[in-house]
A = this chain, B = another copy of it.
Amino acid sequence: MDKNAPPNSASTVADVAREAGVSKATAARVLGGYGTVSEKVRVAVMAAAEALDYRPNELARSMTTGRSGTIGVIVGDIENPFFSLAVRGITDVARQAGFTVVLVNSSEDARNEEAALRTLLAKRVDGLIVSPAKESETDHLRDAARSGRPLVLLDRGSETLGVDTVVANDRHAAESITRKLIARGHRHIAYLTACDTPDHHFRTPADIHTGSVRRRIEGFFSTCQEAGMTDVEHNIHVGAVTPERTRAIIMAMIEAPLRPTAIIASDSVIALEVFKLCREFAIRIPDDLSLVSFHDADWTSVTTPPVTVIRQPVYQLGETAARLLVRRMKGDVGPPTRTVLETELVERASVSMPDQSSEPPHRG
């Protein structure tokens, strides 16, 4: 009497089997699409499943197979266009490969990242893509790697960890844009990043624990030094974590006796803040200040002037990482790889030669 109508609680393989008059194993075979069954039995079981509105329980399936069909993704902040684009790349290939994505924001905090990793591992994700907040604190990543589940690092690597990594050629990009600025006559170039140090001051690239940014700063640093500049470390500003902090840093920079003639923004969020502040204080770009940004965010081509950027293959970064992960999850056990994607300097109109008009008269 409780056989015909769809039951109130979810029906299981056993229910379908009973309804179809076959064994549980047989019903499971047709429902799970494995093993062999006669055509007659197949249609009977399918009909029963339909009648009972059977829905497979992936949890139970995962528990016996050991695979969850899920990949865990940890990024700093999904709200940042850089990450949302990369995540789009990841989800696109994940979907295509039959995986779903569990997303966690670390807020660029290593402890959050660690907790997230623990959770994802406990949920038995089949693989992980992480954009590590700090390259120095990677014990939890080592654990994850050791757990046997494939791990791919995104945008930020780790030299020592021996794990698959997909990054952009940040160092080279920083070198080339710095050289370009120097060639245009700039001698006081500031680098501005959200990465922070305990005392909010920069001393050496080793202070920077975010891989991509450290590599950029290394490139910036050495190129400046090669050009004979001194005190380069004073031109590297850290801790632009919020709009307010960013503004404060830029203000201090602008009001300093030796005002920089050019700023390199480490991401588009920072560049936008620079742009807003310049507008507010009637600082002309590029006449009073040149601006260059990492990440070709959509708006950078539409400002007046449009801003010169380093275009990173952000979507491809995510795509490549996910593809690699899928390969690993399928059993590829080659040695760890390091994929470096090329960047491109997109010259627009936010850089000029400082000799034209930018240096205040206190020079000559």
Q: Which residues of A contact B (CB under 8 A)?
A: 10, 55-60, 62-63, 68-70, 77-79, 81, 84-85, 87-88, 91-92, 95, 100-105, 116, 118-124, 147, 269, 272, 275-276, 279, 297-299, 301-304
Contacts and interface: CB of A to CB of B under 8 A. Distances in A.
Contacts of A100: 102, 104, 116, 119-120, 123
A120 B100 CA distance: 9
A266 to B, nearest CB: 17
Given A301-B276, A302-B279, A303-B302, A78 B87 contact: yes
A209 to B, nearest CB: 23
A104 B105 contact: no
Contacts of A120: 100
A298 B124 CA distance: 37
B105 A88 contact: yes
B95 A88 contact: no
Given A57-B122, A58-B124, A59-B68, A104 B104 contact: no
Instruction: Give chain A's interface secondary structure class.
Output: helix
16 contacts: A55-B122, A55-B147, A56-B122, A57-B63, A70-B123, A77-B88, A78-B87, A79-B84, A88-B105, A92-B105, A95-B104, A100-B116, A100-B123, A269-B298, A299-B303, A302-B303
Contact of A78 (B59, B84, B122, B279): B84
Given A100-B123, A275-B302, 9 more contacts: A55-B122, A58-B119, A58-B123, A59-B62, A59-B63, A78-B84, A79-B88, A84-B84, A297-B299
A63 B57 CA distance: 9
Contacts of A92: 105
A268 to B, nearest CB: 9
Contacts of A272: 298-299, 302
A154 to B, nearest CB: 15
B78 A91 contact: yes
Contact of A104 (B63, B91, B147): B91
B105 A91 contact: yes
Contacts of A121: 55
A81 B78 contact: no
Contacts of A60: 63
Question: Most B CB atoms within 10 A — which of A55, A85, A92?
Answer: A55
Contact of A102 (B87, B101, B116, B279): B101
Contacts of A104: 91, 95, 100-101
Nearest to A315: B79
Q: When A and B form their complex, which 10 residue pairs have the shortest distance between CB atoms, in order from nearest?
A: A299-B299, A84-B84, A304-B304, A58-B122, A79-B88, A103-B103, A58-B123, A59-B124, A59-B63, A275-B302
Contacts of A58: 119, 122-124
Contacts of A88: 77-79, 105
A153 to B, nearest CB: 20
A344 to B, nearest CB: 19
A102 B72 CA distance: 9
A307 to B, nearest CB: 10
A77 to B, nearest CB: 7
A144 to B, nearest CB: 11
A62 B353 CA distance: 63
B302 A102 contact: no
